[in-house]
Amino acid sequence: MSEIKNSTIPRAESSRLLTGRGRFIHTIILPRMLQVAFMRSPVAHGRFSRIDTSGVSSMPGVEAVLTAKDIGALIVEVPVTKLDTIPHHISPVQLPLADGLVRFQGEPVAMAVAQTVDQAEDAVSALSVNYDQLPISLDNTPASKVEIGVDFLNSSEQVSLEASFSFARQAGVTLEPRGIVASYDPSDDRLELWISHQSPQLVQTLFAKLLGMPENRIRVRTVDVGGGFGVKLHVYADEMATVLASRVLGRPVKYIASRSEAFQSDAQAREFDVSAAIHLAADGALIGMTGEFENPIGAYSIYPRSSVGDAIQAATQLGAPYKLDGMKTLARTLWRNRPPSGAIRGVGQPIPCVVTEQLMDMAARHLGEDPVDYRRKHYLDAGSFPLTTLGGIYMDQLSLIECLDTLTEAMDYSALRDGQQRLREQGVWRGIGIITFIEQTAVGPGLYGAANVPATSVEECRIRLEADGCIRVETGATDQGQGTLTGIRQIVASELGLDIEAVDVFSADSSGARGGGAWASRGLSLAGEASLLAAEALRVNILEIAGELLQAPPRALRLEKGLIRGAGREDLTLADFAKIAWFKPYDFPPGSTDKLALSRSYTLEGRPHLVANGVMGCLVEIDPETGAVDLLRHWVVEDCGTIINRALVDGQIMGGAAQGIGQVLGEDLRYDENGQLLSGTFMDYAVPRADIIPPIEILHVTTPQAGTKLGAKGVGEAGTVGGPASVWSAVNDAIAHTGARVTAAPLTAERIFNAIRSAKAQ
């Protein structure tokens, strides 16, 4: 690939979005379109036998009131989540509308379809249901159980440092709530969907299964999406019900979740109770780590990817960056009467990162060693790659020492440590947290393919030389703010020697190139690789044809600045070449035009995933009188392989770090003993504000990904994976001199203050 000349160009769609020309679900307006509102269960577990709809259908603007009985006959394949790779993990059937049994507060029970949203909501408020409440599930009935790792020998001289951790349940909190427009045409038996989603191809496949329709009669467009974070990777009961309502009525139907509904029904994640230990030899050498992870996943395993991802990542990633003789983990998912948990940015990876790095800090403190030096001497050896960890994670190459050295230099770590004690003597408690993270990215077919979940891991790119010399690209990748499409434009433009304005990229439509959409940081690592392969093939074809046209060896020709050069005569513009191809094909060798529009696909072969890595540093100040945390500085050194656009990469890291910081300091979906959500508004659910996010400095080490032409790994989840651990490490470093340690998130001022007070009382 030719050198990319401008690696910091802004996202191609920024101007359109900033000038109000975004096309989100609320902007989709179709003729005769109706609006939907849902009646949701107010109880977390209960039965009902009858929904009183008397008089509701005659209310102004109401077209229909639908229950499970009204739409059930249209369901050909009932939505139930099960994994071939974990055969004992089978979810209860999650119907679009509950049929007599509700399992969490907020589960949809009935729907009203009306001319306006207000009329639909008025109709819902007039519905009446009597619930017989059932006991809330609080037992330890496992939804799944996974054991990972290798045992190690216990010795009487072995030292084991044990710790327990608790992590709060969290929400994805997308700026744009979930929404869908469904338009079924009974005259042609076709279904068109517009949905705020990360993967149009997955939606197409799932609704084809639900309705028993061929996929080619369903078209899914995801248009602009105001944030996904994994929340919009699933297909929800209310979305299925909206589609079925369009089938019943033969008219377009729109549903957009309110913020309150989002808190009640969107995928949730990260709720864990963990017991872990780090095991040391008598001389302090690291032997291994063990951990038990309990993860309440909700009342259903979310459709179709399941809710076990957090637990599996927790089980596999414990101790991943370090040399261990043994590592043993047990991860259990537990049924609870709460909304299903699912994929949220980082999918479980922040949990083992926190636990691993806290254990490393505990060991360093126990041995009286500097935490940076302790990590450095126990990192995986640079010469041992490629390798597979005891948790089963394949790694081609990590740059652990390089990242750590870059970080400590950027932080001026020695000076911070020297100043820490002096400030403490003045009553100023500062903490320095330095942690190591890995990020599993670009998951290949071994995960969902083996589990028989229809989430494609193949990324297709279609490319065509247009008649004016510009390039049309179709990709299966989608973009919810990551800048993926801009990166693909840069890759194609660079390979074809064009200005980026000459390349246009189309996405987010199931009728276009096939692909997985956006998940597991696959945008440029997989879809970008496919675009490079396609652009490379087109370049070869153009020069081959031009060689015959110009009577020059193709290898002597090159594409540069929109020109075909090197024929020993006047340069031929790509625009003139394209005009001949499309309007005077008889001047070209036979069969040439077939070579100017082509497709290439890419998937990982021989690797289950890619692994990026990095380190983070965090500087905090704790008020000893209140426990309040003041974040002063934050540093990230990250290795995502080849960087296509530094500005977009840094933006992803910065946004992810901010999300991770917010999650560890304040986010908490709290439920009472009856399964009632207590923090279902922004008055109670504390997302990070701009005034608590410190200055973030981002640096890079570059280790191109082996086995690929582009050399890119993923980067979209790095900040979220390491952010919580870095803050946690810094907070506990600030209070360690008192003997205190905080073990539960969020790290509220109250918890920190109580930890300090308890330590002083001992």
Q: Is the pLDDT of residue 3 over 80?
A: no
Q: Which residues contact 538 (CB under 8 A, 6 or more apart)?
A: 463, 465, 471, 496, 596, 598
Contact assessment for residue 311 and residue 144, using Cβ atoms and an 8 Å cutoff: yes
**3-state SS, residue 620:** strand
Domain ranges of the chain: 23-135+177-227+231-260, 350-443+607-761, 458-602
Look at residue 290 and tell me whether its pLDDT is greater than 90: yes
What band does 4 get if pLDDT is binned at 50, 70 and 90?
low
Judged against a pLDDT cut of 90, whether residue 532 lies above it is answered with yes
pLDDT tens digits, 422-435: 999 999 999 999 99
Average of per-residue pLDDT across 608-615 = 97
Arithmetic mean of pLDDT over the chain: 95
Architecture of the CATH domain 23-135+177-227+231-260 = Alpha-Beta Complex (3.90)
Alpha helices in 319-380 (DSSP H): 350-367, 371-378
In the 8-state DSSP scheme, what is residue 110? E
Question: Is the bond preceding 304 in cis, omega lying within 30 degrees of 0?
Answer: yes
CATH T-level fold of 458-602: Aldehyde Oxidoreductase; domain 4 (3.30.365)
Q: Give the SS3 label for residue 608.
A: coil
Report the 10 Å Cβ neighbour count for 621.
Answer: 16
Q: Would you say residue 277 has pLDDT above 50?
A: yes
Which residues, at least 6 apart from 600, have a Cβ–Cβ distance to it below 8 Å?
A: 460, 461, 463, 530, 533, 534, 537
What would the pLDDT profile of 10-46 be if each residue is shown by its tens digit? 888 888 999 999 999 999 999 999 999 999 999 999 9
What fold, for 350-443+607-761? Aldehyde Oxidoreductase; domain 4 (3.30.365)
What whole-number distance in Å separates Cα of residue 423 and Cα of residue 418?
9
- Give the number of other Cβ atoms within 10 Å of residue 47's Cβ: 14
Contact status, residue 688 vs residue 666, Cβ threshold 8 Å: yes
pLDDT at 97 over 80: yes
Q: What is the pTM of this model?
A: 0.96
Pick the more confident residue, 14 or 211. Answer: 211
- Average pLDDT, integer, range 321-347: 96
The reply to whether domains 23-135+177-227+231-260 and 350-443+607-761 share a CATH topology is no
CB atoms within 10 A of CB 165: 21
pLDDT digits (tens, 9 = 90+) for 634-690: 999 999 999 999 999 999 999 999 999 999 999 999 999 999 999 999 999 999 999
- If one counts every other C-beta atom within 10 angstroms of the C-beta of residue 355, the result is 29
Question: Which whole-number Å values give the CA distances from 659 to 229, 280, 436, 738, in the listed order?
Answer: 10, 34, 18, 29
278: part of which helix (H) or strand (E)? Answer: strand 272-280
Tokens 């070449």 appear where?
Answer: 577
Mean per-residue pLDDT, 697-723: 97
Q: Given this model, what pLDDT does residue 5 score? A: 44
Closest-CA residue to 712 (of 656, 637, 649, 647): 649
